[in-house]
Amino acid sequence: MSSPKRSKVLVANGQGFWGDSILGPIRLVEEGPLDYLTLDYLAEVTMSIMQKLRSRRPDAGYATDFVALLDRIAPRAHAKGIKIIANAGGVNPRACKDAVLKVLAKHGLKGVRVAVIEGDDILSRLDELIASGEPLKNMDTGAPLSSVRQRVTSANVYIGAFPVAEALAQGADIVIAGRLTDPGLVLGPLIHEFGWRSDQWDLLAAGTIAGHIVECGAQCTGGNYTDWRKVPDLARIGYPIVECTSDGSFVVTKHEGTGGLVDVSAVAHQLVYEMGDPRNYITPDCVADFTSIRLEQAGRDRVRASGIRGKPATPTFKVSLSYENGYKCAGQLTISGPEALEKARLCASIVWKRLELDGCTFRPEERLEEYVGANVCHAGIAAAEVAPSEVVLRLGVKCADEDKCDRFGMELVPLVTSGPPGVTGFAGGRPKATEVIGYWPALLRKEAVRTQVTVFES
């Protein structure tokens, strides 16, 4: 391990998903010290949406929110020396780079180095990979990708943190990647700053867990927290910062004076987010043992993590593929007044019977029927209201026939005048069929993937 560039590094995450509050990263830049700002925009379905946008327009396919954000923070971040790392490139990181360079030019920022990481998008290589003996089997069902090959809409490898470190080593001020792992956004700058090697499993696991804790933004600083009543000033919630040291220990905190809270319980809540086997959390860079972490309160809004252990990385990358999987159509109505739940159930029955009368039937597994307000979300867990005075009826269908789904959508609004009394909430009009995107997780040998870092200058 080479000598660290500094003893402590401050890495924050200002976006937990594409659509998160723009105020999170703005306030991280404005309200306190920071070395790195990371921004996580991608989810499995997001890649398919971006691929579809790119197919319609060659300069699309990335998170446009990132460009809008840079328009607001670029001058201040540059003045403070804050480096920015984002997976906003989606399926078109070079187009994202072009938009970013335009923003930098608009603010007269010259000499800013923008790195692009490529290699994760393997959509154009699928036939080549299958022919070379990579079946890309579905990790859940074992089916080969060939069974849905003609319907695949996106294919992206979850690449690790070392390309980020490479970009930073080349002097990048802004790093734009595609399907980089969520924790890799944080681990990358730590590898760069502290010189961690690819076989230092404990250190890589520590950086991975630090990234996992902050990857959902304010979800570890009091957002979406069970003890929500004790969380102060949620309107001004502070987004998370990790203060990291070269030995792998770190402190989770937030800027002083911001809302929210950082305590052991809130951090522990986030630790179990999207957790499978806690002893074997697999990433491209290592396997992290989440049971080894030790959390302690280290002051107000400061939680220290230490003792983290890791194991060697696996020989494969995970691949996220999406494919066309039929159509769906869903809509809702509000049923109000006395006996609302009974009337809502009658409405659902009317819809299914009228469709059947017209020769349009759906199997039970193709139908969705929910009564929001009658304990749908926590059925069997929380006590239900005995007689709700209003219920939101949600009905939906899913099948391979687009026209059939559209026919379903025609039967909701008529209930206003040909169903029981108290039906309202139909201003949205008739729901239309939309495509269903299926998710296909697979594994791919790491030798089959080559990442590339290219640096541009404003």
The pLDDT score that the predictor gives to residue 54 is 87
Q: Do 380 and 252 share a structural domain?
A: no
Residue 4 has pLDDT above 80, yes or no: no
Do 330 and 307 reside in the same domain of the chain?
no
Looking at the chain, the whole-number percentage of residues with pLDDT higher than 70 is 99
Residue 131 lies in a domain: no
In this prediction, residue 51 carries a pLDDT of: 83
**Computed from CA positions of residues 452, 121, 219, 279, in that sequence, does the dihedral angle turn out positive or negative?**
negative
Do residue 97 and residue 57 come from a single domain?
yes
Check whether residue 300 and residue 374 sit in a common domain: no
Q: What is the pLDDT of residue 1?
A: 56
The per-residue pLDDT for 5 is 75
Q: What's the mean pLDDT in 47-53?
A: 84
pLDDT above 90 (res 44):
no
Res 112: pLDDT: 98
DSSP for 247-293, please give it. TS-EEEE--TT-BS---HHHHHHHHTTT-S-TT-EE-SS-EEEGGG-
Q: Which has more pLDDT, 357 or 385?
A: 357
Residue among 196, 177, 213, 171 at smallest CA distance from 285: 196
Q: Are strands 294-297 and 36-39 parallel, antiparallel or unpaired?
A: unpaired
Digit-coded pLDDT (tens) for 235-265: 999 999 999 999 999 999 999 999 999 999 9
Q: What is the pLDDT of residue 407?
A: 97
**Has residue 132 got a pLDDT over 70?**
yes
> Global pTM?
0.93
Question: What's the mean pLDDT in 92-110?
Answer: 97
Q: What is the mean pLDDT of residues 23-35?
A: 97
CA atoms within 13 A on the CB side of 26: 11
Q: Are strands 303-306 and 294-297 parallel, antiparallel or unpaired?
A: antiparallel
pLDDT for res 3: 67
Q: What are the phi and psi torsion angles at 202 (to 5°)?
A: -65, -45
| C-beta separation of 37 from 77 below 8 A | yes
Residue 276 sits in the same domain as residue 295: yes
- Asked whether residue 453 is domain-assigned, the answer is no
Structure tokens at 266: 């809130």
Q: Rounded to whole angstroms, how far apart are CA atoms 407 and 78?
A: 54
Enclosing domain of residue 380: 322-440
Question: Binning pLDDT at 50, 70 and 90, where does residue 2 land?
Answer: low
Domain membership of residue 332 (yes or no) is: yes
* 244: three-class secondary structure by DSSP: strand
The verdict on 185 and 265 lying in the same domain is yes
User: Does residue 258 form part of some domain?
Assistant: yes
Same domain, 205 and 100: yes
| Total number of domains constituting the chain | 2
Average of per-residue pLDDT values in the chain: 95
Q: If pLDDT is split at 50, 70 and 90, which confidence band does 102 have? A: very high
Q: Is residue 138 part of a domain?
A: no
Query: What is the 3-state secondary structure of 329-397?
Result: EEEEEEEECCCHHHHHHHHHHHHHHHHHHCCCCCCHHHEEEEEECCCCCCCCCCCCCCCCCEEEEEEEE
First to last CA, the chain: 33
- 374-395: per-residue pLDDT in tens? 888 877 787 776 788 999 999 9
Q: Tell me: do 393 and 300 sit in the same domain.
A: no
Cβ count within 10 A of residue 450: 8
What number is the average pLDDT over the span 182-188?
97
Q: Which pLDDT belongs to residue 90?
A: 93
Single-letter residue type at 139: M
Same domain, 276 and 389: no
Is residue 436 within 8 A of residue 325, CB to CB? The reply is yes
Residue 427 has pLDDT above 80, yes or no: no
Q: What is the CATH number of the domain that holds 429?
A: 3.30.70
In a domain, 126, yes or no: no
pLDDT recorded at residue 385: 66
Q: What is the mean pLDDT of residues 151-167?
A: 96
Backbone angles phi, psi at 121, to 5 degrees: -80, 110
Q: Rounded mean pLDDT of 292-319?
A: 97
Instruction: Kindly state whether residues 169 and 208 are assigned to the same domain.
Output: yes
Residue 455 lies in a domain: no
Q: Is the pLDDT of residue 42 over 80?
A: yes
In this structure, are 169 and 257 located in the same domain?
yes
Does residue 361 share a domain with residue 273?
no
